[in-house]
A = this chain, B = another copy of it.
Amino acid sequence: MPTQIPATALQLQSLVKADQTVELSLATVEVPEPGPGEVVVRVEASPINPSDLGLLLAGADVAAAVSSGSADRPVVTAPLPDAAVRAAQARVGLPMPVGNEGAGTVVAAGSSPAAAALLGKTVAMAGGGMYAQYRCVDTFLCLELPDGTPAVDGASSFVNPMTALGMVETMRMENHQALVHTAAASNLGQMLNRLCLEEQVPLVNIVRRPEQEQLLRSAGATYVCNSTSPAFLDELTAALKETGATLGFDATGGGKLASQILTGMEAAASAAAGGYSRYGSAVHKQVYIYGSLDRGPTELTRNFGMAWGVGGWLLTPFLQKIGLDGMARLRGRVAAELSTTFASSYTDQVSLVGALQLDAIAAYSRQATGSKYLIIPSR
């Protein structure tokens, strides 16, 4: 192994303890030798996605977090509410590396041709444990970035791009014609908007604030509904009538939004069908919940007939469903459109130490649309 690679390096870890707290710290771990099909990557950028927060924070009450340790090795401790304790039972005492995706430079490679070919290249990576200075990964989990792409631009090459593509693919696989998306001004939402414009898939964007409406409209969105508008359900129904959307992806999870989307879809479907049908329209209406910005219960009023479904949607099982060929196709597309359709933007960049500051934790745990953190582990 070349001499510039240290024997040990820092890795952010999340540890749920038996005293009903979660402890976040920077551990010193060995940098492994790569196996034949593996590469060692110096991680140069890794985003904090909503999908990272469950593993990182374990549902802790971050408002009650306290910091100890030293300035360059902070240790953050936060209490877990009872419900979080039950959910985290199986990980008590097990330090968890965190960070679904990242990008960096390949500094060591295994003996396989695929691995050797990546040496010195900038790659995006999936696989977890990316909030670290070095990460050893299988080449299968790497996406070689086009020459000259900075790691920062490739840090979010997997979760959001594959999720946006997965939504459109799911729409086609399940025979829908158009989409509804909530929290639509997020990085993912903006990406989905660009993708749908490119693919000519009608998309109904649901947001909560006027500036988010403007942001999407200025990015070319035709249908943007504000869920805080007094006429929201009417406006949503009108957009659903025009688009014929019968599939929604909901990032909020809790509350009535999924139910309102189904109600609007049913009103649109009934208007299209005409006449009275005692069990509602025969058109299947589906909402997938893929996030939990609102942790409260999902409330379904069931005033949308009998042809409906609500369910969880997760990227990994979707990728398993489309198989290796499907994945390769989607990954190729992401690489080709990384600076256009699948571009991401960040409001804050922090070091590993910076990611463990209480004010930063308070900020990124809010998951506010328009606020997005990027970890730069080399800082």
Contacts and interface: CB of A to CB of B under 8 A. Distances in A.
Interface of A: 54-55, 83, 86-88, 90-91, 94, 253-254, 259, 270, 274-279, 282, 289-290, 292, 297-303, 305-314, 316-317
Given A311-B309, A312-B307, A317-B282, A289 B276 contact: no
21 contacts: A86-B303, A87-B303, A88-B276, A90-B274, A90-B275, A94-B276, A254-B302, A282-B317, A292-B302, A297-B299, A297-B300, A298-B298, A298-B302, A299-B299, A300-B310, A302-B312, A307-B312, A308-B312, A309-B310, A310-B311, A311-B311
Contacts of A313: 306
Chain A contact surface mostly: mixed
Given A254-B302, A298-B298, A298-B300, 10 more contacts: A91-B276, A253-B302, A282-B317, A289-B302, A290-B306, A298-B299, A299-B299, A302-B312, A306-B313, A308-B311
Contact of A314 (B86, B253, B307): B307
Contacts of A276: 88, 90-91, 94
Given A54-B278, A90-B276, A297 B302 contact: yes
A279 B314 contact: yes
A259 B297 contact: yes
A344 to B, nearest CB: 22
Contacts of A83: 303
Contacts of A86: 303
Nearest to A258: B300
Contacts of A305: 312
A296 to B, nearest CB: 9
Nearest to A277: B90
A273 B1 CA distance: 38
Nearest to A94: B276
Contact of A55 (B90, B278, B298, B316): B278
A15 to B, nearest CB: 12
A158 to B, nearest CB: 15
Nearest to A256: B297
A299 B274 CA distance: 31
Nearest to A276: B90
Contact of A309 (B55, B274, B309): B309
Nearest to A278: B55
B310 A310 contact: yes
Contact of A312 (B87, B298, B309, B311): B309
